Amino acid sequence: MKVKDFLEKITEETKEGKYKTLGRLVRKAKREGFSREEIIKALSEGIKSASEHYKIKGMYLDDIIKSAAAFNVGAQSLGLEMEEKKEPEKRVIIGVMGGPWTIGSDIVSANLRAAGFEVVNAGSDITPEKLARVVQETGGRIVASAIYLMQSEPEVAKLEEELWKRGIRHEVRTILSGPASSRPLAERYNVDAHVKDVNELVIKIKEFSEELKSEMTSRERVMTSVRYEEPDRVPFIPFAQTFCAKFAGIPFSEYVSKAEKFVEGQMKAYKAFGWDALCFSSDVGMYAEALGAKIAFPHNDIPRIIEPLLHHDSVYEDFKKLTIPDPMEAGRLTESIKAIELARKEVGEDVPLIGWLEGPFQGVALLTGADPLMLFYVLDHPKEFNEILEWYAEFQINVARCMGEAGADIIGVGETAAYFMSPKFFERFCLEPEKKLCGTIKRMGMIPLIHCCGYVPQCIPYAKETNPGGAIQFDYQVDLAWAKKELQNKVTIMGNLNYNKLTRASPKEVYEDCANHIKIAAKGGGFWLAFGCEIPRDLPINNMRTIIRATRTIGKYPISI
């Protein structure tokens, strides 16, 4: 028999379901010297042909069963069933939720093995809980589920829920198929992909497998982007305090006071959503408190400064009474540093950690209780005020050093008050202290991240001078396209999703808004998708999942919308 005829016969017998003779034919092919790859290809062509026939012209159930059985016999004869387990990104977990549709699983399994994947069949008529458990136990990273009846639609949502409850959702790719499935249904529940048939399934799984194989760690992704290069996908960087505390069920007063609670809240959110950093921002009162200010602590709300340290009729005199504390013996400030150290031990080196400071101008403004009348003192006593700013910058440099030693990679610098000022005022009072702080952080080997809320376009261009090579987070009121053009290849942009809008939006609206931001600012790197300010405490969980899905779909590089 000629080579071509021999391989064509294997393909034909697989398609026709000749399971009784195919084993002998495959073994004979091996003896005749046909390569393993040639035989696998012939078997694969047969099962693909059977699947295509079933899709287009229809096929009797007995024929379907025989074709799948023939492929399995051929695979066993070739020794495929005896192979060692493949790497996680080549391991696919399949399962049918609702209904004993085993033949569909057999066809899918045969096609996937023919394509070189390891298949773990969790079974048919199984619960989402069981399917999620199998995923976790086997360590596979691709999950292909199917529903055959509309009554099984709630199971799709439950499976997604189970995966993130187990802390593995961000590690896997999910695919939905079956007669009762649809693309809108998959999108509604944040399933990563929908396919209509087994051929589309194989194509999508190959795509996901390659994507997972080349997937960067969060650190690689963030650091590539800040170098103005394109990583595998757009990073999502959290600026999350109240959201994490609520998500973890921790009263906010405990979250911002105990290192263990700080880490617990961050880790629960990180494991659930798979975002690209942990952020140890606390509240605007923490640094004033470390210097001696009185703070009110609501049980489950943000701490507030109730008695300032600098009074407008005695600013310089009050300042002279202050001493810079040891950051490792400063109450809640110390706890925030310890939280970074604990988190580094838990996540290893693959996830960036963000420590948080108050910038010189904003930090001093908070020492006054954010009294706007303090502006007149500044204008009347510029030398004294510059001395206070210099002192505060040294305080924050000491804290940044401790955070770096604890494991921080990025240091947030809250400077909203400074960026609200006029350019003339900024140049006179804010520019040099901010430049000193950011420059020192950079020399310590960390990335400075300036944070400013509100409509502040007038001072954003100064970031090119105060923080070149660093990052800036600004609010949704600032035009993103303008900022990208202004800062491109000079300062990485973090932002600037509208927290008010997306808290009330549907998942579809959230996805479209993320896509628009990615389209505007992601090309060429230098962009971290984030909210313009804090992630809202009451942001719907499904909306957060939608944001993450957007980074993995529309946010994949090269960006193409």
SS3 readout for 447-516: EEEEEECCCCCCCHHHHHHHCCCCEEEECCCCCHHHHHHHHCCCCEEEEEECHHHHHHCCHHHHHHHHHH
Do residues 241 and 256 lie in contact, with contact meaning Cβ atoms separated by under 8 Å?
yes
**Same domain, residue pair 204 and 71:** no
Q: Is residue 560 part of a domain?
A: no
Phi, psi at 447, each rounded to 5°: -95, 120
Side chain identity at residue 346, one-letter code: E
Identify the CATH number of the domain in which residue 3 sits: 1.10.1240.10
For residue 55, pLDDT over 90 is answered with: no
Last residue of a domain, one of 63, 80, 97: 80
**Same domain, residue pair 106 and 242:** no
Side chain identity at residue 282, one-letter code: S
Write the burial class of residue 188 (CB in 10 Å: 0-12 exposed, 13-18 middle, 19+ buried): middle
**Same domain, residue pair 140 and 266:** no
Mind listing the pLDDT tens digit for each residue in 185-216?
998 888 999 998 888 999 999 999 998 998 99
For residue 489, pLDDT over 50 is answered with: yes
pLDDT for 164: 83
**Same domain, residue pair 66 and 94:** no
**Same domain, residue pair 316 and 236:** yes
Share of the chain above pLDDT 90, in %: 64
For residue 437, pLDDT over 80 is answered with: yes
**Same domain, residue pair 176 and 307:** no
pLDDT for 74: 76
Q: Is residue 135 part of a domain?
A: yes
For residue 285, pLDDT over 50 is answered with: yes
Identify the CATH number of the domain in which residue 97 sits: 3.40.50.280
Last residue of a domain, one of 65, 80, 95: 80
- Stretch (H or E) spanning 121: strand 118-121
Q: Is residue 455 part of a domain?
A: yes
pLDDT for 271: 87
Lowest-confidence region among 74-78, 370-374, 390-394, 494-498: 74-78
Lowest-confidence region among 61-65, 272-276, 510-514: 61-65
Count of all residues that appear for the chain in the document:
561
**Same domain, residue pair 275 and 387:** yes
Q: Stretch 152-171: mean pLDDT, rounded?
A: 89
| pLDDT greater at residue 11 or residue 403 | 403
Going by DSSP bridges, is the β-strand pair 304-307/294-296 parallel, antiparallel, or unpaired? antiparallel
**Same domain, residue pair 381 and 367:** yes
Residue (of 226, 217, 275) closest to 445 by Cα position: 226
Domain span holding position 157: 84-215
pLDDT for 81: 53
**Same domain, residue pair 186 and 306:** no
Distance of CA 345 to the CA centre of its chain: 20
For residue 475, pLDDT over 90 is answered with: yes
Instruction: Give the chain's mean pLDDT.
Output: 89
Q: Stretch 135-150: mean pLDDT, rounded?
A: 91
Q: Is residue 220 part of a domain?
A: no
**Same domain, residue pair 48 and 168:** no
Identify the CATH number of the domain in which residue 423 sits: 3.20.20.210
Q: CA-to-CA distance for 151 and 381, rounded, in angstroms?
A: 73
Residue (of 238, 247, 240, 251) closest to 268 by Cα position: 247
**Same domain, residue pair 374 and 329:** yes
For residue 263, pLDDT over 50 is answered with: yes
**Same domain, residue pair 116 and 168:** yes
Phi, psi at 530, each rounded to 5°: -165, 175
Q: Is residue 356 part of a domain?
A: yes
The residue written with tokens 């924050």 in the block is: 396
pLDDT for 2: 52
Q: Is residue 323 part of a domain?
A: yes
Per-residue CA distances from 339 to 256, 344, 444 (Å)? 10, 9, 20
- Sign of the torsion formed by the C-alpha atoms of 7, 11, 17 and 23: positive
- Number of compact structural domains in the chain: 3
3-state secondary structure of 280: coil
Q: Is residue 463 part of a domain?
A: yes
Q: Is residue 557 part of a domain?
A: no
Lowest-confidence region among 177-181, 237-241, 442-446: 177-181
Last residue of a domain, one of 215, 250, 270: 215
Mind listing the pLDDT tens digit for each residue in 56-99?
555 555 666 777 777 777 777 776 554 556 788 999 999 998 76
